[in-house]
Structure formats: C-alpha cells, structure tokens
C-alpha cells in the first residue's frame, strides 16, 4: 500500500486498514484494459482520515460496482464513520478491492 498523488493505491495481497469521515460520488473516465475504449463510470470516493493506525488526509476511490456494493450498507446514515475497514486487492492489474473485515470503533 502506498499513498501517492493524494490517493491510496492498493498493492496486491497487502491489506490496509482505513477509517473514513466523508464520501461522495464522482464521474471518472477510464480506459477498458481489454478493448481500449474510454468510458465514464461512477466512482465511490472516501476521504481517508486514518490509514493503518496513522492519521491521514487522502482519498480512496472505488470504481468497481461489485466493490461499491460491499460498502453500500455502510453509506446510509453515514454508518461508515463508526468503523475501520480492512481492504485488500487480491490480484495485480484491474482487480477490484474487497472488504476483509469491518471493525467497530470503540
């Protein structure tokens, strides 16, 4: 995991633990890796205030609809603010992140 250019970049098989204080939806232009054409997708973007137990001020973006659905139950009423999320990218390339664990903040 690395924080580069003001965003969290996941490395394959290296879980990170993040805490968020805000989220939003943002259009993103991406290039399809197989077909090469550009399309616009809706990204779920979190403001990260804690990364692996250390204070942070960066963002974590999720463009995979499958991964977005994992976060969806925590968006209503800002429930995500009450948890730390352990997230992992299971493969190199365009593999979506997956939530490994959700821990309540004591």
Q: Are 33 and 57 in contact (CB under 8 A)?
A: no
User: How many C-beta neighbours within 10 Å does residue 58 have?
Assistant: 17
pLDDT at 34: 83
Q: Which residues of the chain, if any, have pLDDT below 70?
A: 1-5
pTM of the full predicted structure? 0.89
């Amino acid at each position: 995991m690395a924080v580069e250019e003001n965003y969290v970049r996941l490395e394959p098989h290296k879980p990170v633990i993040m805490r968020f204080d805000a989220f939003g939806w943002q259009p993103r232009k991406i290039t399809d890796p197989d077909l090469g054409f550009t399309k616009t997708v809706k990204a779920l973007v979190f403001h990260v205030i804690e990364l692996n137990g250390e204070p942070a001020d960066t963002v974590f973006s999720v463009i995979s609809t499958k991964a977005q659905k994992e976060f969806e139950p925590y968006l209503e009423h800002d429930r995500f603010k009450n948890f730390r999320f352990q997230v992992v990218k299971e493969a190199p390339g365009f593999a979506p992140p997956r939530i490994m664990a959700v821990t309540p903040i004591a």
